[in-house]
Amino acid sequence: MKKNRKSNKYSIVSLFSGCGGLDLGFKGDFYSLGKKYNSHSFEIKWANDFDEKACITFAKNFNDPIVCGDIVQILKGHYPDLLSPQMPNKADIILGGFPCQEFSLAGKRRGFRSQRGLLYQSMVEAVKRLRPAVFVAENVKGLLSMDNGEAIKKIIKDFSVLGYSVVYKLHHAADFGVPQNRERVVIVGTDKKRNLPTFEYPQEIHSKENWINLKQAIGDLANISEGKIENHFWSKAKMFKGTQGNSIISKDKIGPTMRAEHHGNIEFHWSGKRRLSAREAARIQTFPDDFIFYPSTSSAYKQIGNAVPPVLGWHIAGAVETFLDKYLK
């Protein structure tokens, strides 16, 4: 399958899209932390998520179709309503950051025995049906150690059986310009039936010595009044020492991991006077300032924490585009 003749772009089906961090990275054409990230040759033909609030954010920030509903039911032909766009029967790329909380080192790690863990099987089924040239999945670091390494082995096996060459790599987002302590596993499969070789990952552009720190990323927001810019609202939860999120960030370092399950306990700004705002959290995740989150601050925190940093996604997308241009005939 080659680029769409009319658009000259590779087609994407995006699963577990959330608010669209990985999708934005693949589309490109955005500014983040004062830098322009150019367009890529990808178009999102269909996207899906179960979180209604994340779907609202996606719909308001992209001119691309998203179906809000249970992917397990959709794959059975049960769409949320009669007007829902149907999943295409083919795509060049499938993106799928399948739910990660059950694999997290900080979570209970029920993994494949949980309902969330089993959702990843929907991505396996989608790859089987649509037969993309490439699929990309992102997950938490804990996936590599889950069940003494058996989880990642199972994932590789499940996709290998379908005829894909599967590789994975642990990326530190800060190495790609994300001002955050965020390590994520990126799994990429390439179609052996099309004689595609194994995927070639992008090269890091930063080292620990020149990581972008928080002062560089959000320093200009420090004295802006609450509500003066979009999503610049913060949790009013008080400090509870010794619990997750109840610490004061350092402006001279990268930020802590932006988490989905803050429950209001996002870290405190270096001033010590307030917690980080949703806009500051979005900056730390490298979302552009014109990317607006709906409908509330608490839901914004969750969507931001669940997202793939767009800048990390942009670098992965560039490597995928280069790979397809080189090998897909």
Instruction: Give the residue numbers marked as catalytic.
Output: 100
Query: How do beta strands 183-191 and 164-172 pair?
Result: antiparallel
Which residue shows structure tokens 């209604």?
52
- Residue 166 CB contacts under 8 Å (≥ 6 apart), including other chains: 155, 156, 159, 160, 187, 188, 189
Angle at 205 between CA 199 and CA 206, to 5 degrees: 130
C-alpha closest to that of 94 among 57, 128, 144, 49: 128
C-alpha closest to that of 50 among 11, 22, 15, 100: 15
Q: Please give the span between the terminal C-alpha atoms of the chain, in angstroms, as a whole number.
A: 7
**Cα–Cα dist 309/327, whole Å:** 27
**Cα–Cα dist 213/211, whole Å:** 6
> Could you give the count of Cα atoms lying within 13 Å of 295 in the half-sphere of its Cβ?
5
Which residue shows structure tokens 């909380």?
101
Asked if residues 278 and 259 have their Cβ atoms less than 8 Å apart, the reply is: no
| 165 membership: H or E segment, kind and range | strand 164-172
Q: In this structure, what are the phi and psi dihedrals at residue 131, rounded to the nearest 5 degrees?
A: 50, 60
Beta bridge partners of 49: 68
Which residue shows structure tokens 């595609």?
196
Q: In this structure, what are the phi and psi dihedrals at residue 220, rounded to the nearest 5 degrees?
A: -75, -10
